[in-house]
Structure 1
C-alpha cells in the first residue's frame, strides 16, 4: 500500500502523484490541507521519514517567517502545523520502502519497494 499526503495545488505534489501512478502504484491520496493533522500524526510521520519539524516546515509561500517559526523550537513549529496544515512541506509518501518527504520528486521511488 502506498499513501501520499498530497496538496492538489502543489506542482511538486502533483508530479509525485503522477510518478507513483506511472510506476503502476494506485496510491491512497490524503488531501492533508483539508483533513488536517494531529500532533501525534505529525510526530509519527516525521519520525518515520527521519526528519525534524524544522526540516518539514514549509517556509516558501507561507507565513512561517511572519509567525516567527524560522528558528523556532519543534513544539512551536508542531503547534503551528496543526493549526495551519499548509506549513507542512509536501508531499510525504509512505510505502513498503518507508516514508519520505519527496523533495526532490525522485525520492518517491524509494518508497515503492523494500
Structure 2
C-alpha cells in the first residue's frame, strides 16, 4: 500500500535531498513541491507550521539574505508579519517540510522524516556526507 506523502523540497539543499531519498527508500513516490517555484499559500504555510508543532520563528530560515536585510530577528515583528515575509520571500521558509498520514515535520536533520513514515526502509541508506542512517537490514541507526 502506498502512502500519500508530500515534501516541500529545494533540490539545491542537501538536507532536502537526503529527506527525499529516505522517502524514496520506502518505495513511495511523494508529491514533490519545489516551494521556491511554487510557494505555499499563507493558509498552507500556517497549517504546516502549526501541525509540525513549531512556532513561526522556528520555521523561518535565519541564514538567508532577506532575514538580515529585513531585520527579521527583531522581536516587534508579529507572526502574521513574519508569515507575510515568508510568502513574499519563499527562501525564508525552512525546509524540507514533509506531510504524511502520521503527521507533519520539518525534517532537519533529514532522518526526522523516519518518525512520520509508516513504510519501512527497503535498503541501507547513507546521507550525502556518508553518515549511515539505515543499516543493510533496513533498521534505523540513529
TM-score, normalised to structure 1's length? 0.92
Residue 106 in 1 paired to residue 111 in 2? yes
Higher helix share: 1
- Gapped runs of 5+ residues in structure 1? none
Alignment of 1:56-75 (within 5 A): 56-71=59-74, 72-75=77-80
Pick 1 or 2: higher relative contact order, CA cutoff 8 A, min separation 6: 1
Give aligned pairs, total.
114
Give me the whole-angstrom Cα distance separating, in 1, the residues matched to 2:47 and 2:15: 23
The Cα shift of 1:47 comes to 1.0
**Structure whose CA Rg is larger:** 2
In structure 1, the residue matched to 2:11 is 8
Give me the whole-angstrom Cα distance separating, in 1, the residues matched to 2:70 and 2:7: 27
In structure 2, the residue matched to 1:76 is 81
Mean Cα deviation higher: 60-69 or 93-102: 60-69
CA RMSD, 1 decimal = 1.4
Give me the whole-angstrom Cα distance separating, in 2, the residues matched to 1:33 and 1:43: 17
The Cα shift of 1:42 comes to 0.7
Runs of at least 4 residues off by over 3 Å: none
